[in-house]
Amino acid sequence: MSSTAGQVIKCRAAVAWEAGKPLVMEEVEVAPPKAMEVRLKILYTSLCHTDVYFWEAKGQTPVFPRIFGHEAGGVVESVGEGVTDLSPGDHVLPIFMGECKECAHCKSQESNMCDLLRINTDRGVMISDGQSRFSINGKPIYHFLGTSTFSEYTVVHVGCVAKINPLAPLDKVCVISCGISTGYGAAVNVAKPPKGSTVAVFGLGAVGLAAAEGARASGASRIIGVDINPKRFEEAKKFGVTEFVNPADYDRPVQEVLAEMTNGGVDRSIECSGSTSAMISAFECVHDGWGVAVLVGVPHKDAVFKTHPVNFLVERTLKGTFYGNYKPRSDIPAVVEKYMAKELELEKFITHSVPFSEINKAFDYMLKGESLRCIIHMDG
């Protein structure tokens, strides 16, 4: 790979030219990394609902043409000036948010919201010079979440790259780079359910199921899954969900149903749908005195959350989290080791697999609600 260092690489990328239209396989030019940047050869990527949400452009600023993708695994092809902790050939996970290791957030043990590299969904260029590293016939193709993994090669800021165990199978651990860590970390790092506790998980997609998995790993005795899609309930049993509630089955707020089921409310709740009504229900269903609700789902940009202040005064706690409170470079290698030690099972999240040339099938699976995670093999 060193023979391509410092040179423009031509490769395949799945380009979104406009909102909601199938991705088009194009030959793109990928520029060499600049200072504090790394060029990666992506071997496996997967489709997250966030990619679909911004591809549809229904709730935010549309930026096109764009290369989506932010859940992936690959190897370092070359590094830019000033990069000292990564070398060509290293196995890595690109992460949609970063860790500069120098700002107040990175130095805090309580935060992972890096000042320099926190998520910016509107930015389609590199932060160092405001330019894209992708082009077709000299015209820029925009980045997504600083990762753009729907390309055989991509350029990422060094702070958004986690170096991992080279023995870890990239076609499995690639899902750790977004959804699984987000849900699992929301449970084990933020909600922290005590052993024997009762946990409600709102939204049983991949992130919600990862949250259920984290609740089970923490020792929760009852895990109640809440979702309006009854087809998800059977699958959720594999992830530790013990009971199911469909809000559509009741003519009263689901938080009242849950409080009745649990003698006053659940000990912890984790909201993973992005629905504001689910967020309110997740907060209002926790027990007074000690209940903790954690918000994970990303709402519409104009969404408003309303609840009565007395819900706080009776000692309920509401928390938010981003990426499960994991710091990408410091913490994610240890999450990969959990998988290697068989403490974290990833295979059950992976429901489909397609070659890169058929990437649009992954979108179809997710839009139909048929997949949790579809692995895209970049060599196909």
Q: Is 178 a catalytic residue?
A: yes
| 321 Cβ neighbours under 8 A, 6+ residues apart | 185, 186, 189, 190, 294, 295, 296
Given 26, 29, 118, 276, the catalytic residue: 118
Q: How far is CA 150 from the centre of its chain?
A: 15
Q: Is 106 a catalytic residue?
A: yes
Given 4, 29, 56, 103, the catalytic residue: 103
Q: Is 285 a catalytic residue?
A: no
Given 48, 160, 174, 285, the catalytic residue: 48
Given 100, 174, 272, 374, the catalytic residue: 100
Given 91, 114, 316, 329, the catalytic residue: 114
Q: Is 373 a catalytic residue?
A: yes
Place of tokens 């890169």: 356
Q: Is 157 a catalytic residue?
A: no
Given 37, 71, 77, 99, the catalytic residue: 71
Given 39, 70, 157, 329, the catalytic residue: 70
Given 45, 50, 147, 182, the catalytic residue: 50
Q: Is 100 a catalytic residue?
A: yes
Q: Is 50 a catalytic residue?
A: yes
For the chain, the three-class secondary structure string (H helix, E strand, C coil) is: CHHHCCCCEEEEEEEECCCCCCCEEEEEEECCCCCCEEEEEEEEEECCHHHHHHHHCCCCCCCCCECCCCEEEEEEEEECCCCCCCCCCCEEEECCCCCCCCCHHHHCCCCCCCCCCCCCCCCCCCCCCCCCCEEECCEEEECCCCCCCCECEEEEEHHHEEECCCCCCHHHHHHHHCHHHHHHHHHHHHHCCCCCCEEEEECCCHHHHHHHHHHHHHCCCEEEEECCCCCHHHHHHHHCCCEEECHHHCCCCHHHHHHHHCCCCECEEEECCCCHHHHHHHHHCECCCCCEEEECCCCCCCCCCCCCCHHHHCCCEEEECCHHHCCHHHHHHHHHHHHHCCCCCCHHHEEEEEEHHHHHHHHHHHHCCCCCEEEEECCC
Contact present, 110 and 320 (Cβ < 8 Å): no
Q: Is 374 a catalytic residue?
A: no
Given 11, 26, 29, 49, the catalytic residue: 49
Q: Is 48 a catalytic residue?
A: yes
Residues carrying an active site annotation: 48-50, 70-71, 100, 103, 106, 114, 118, 178, 373
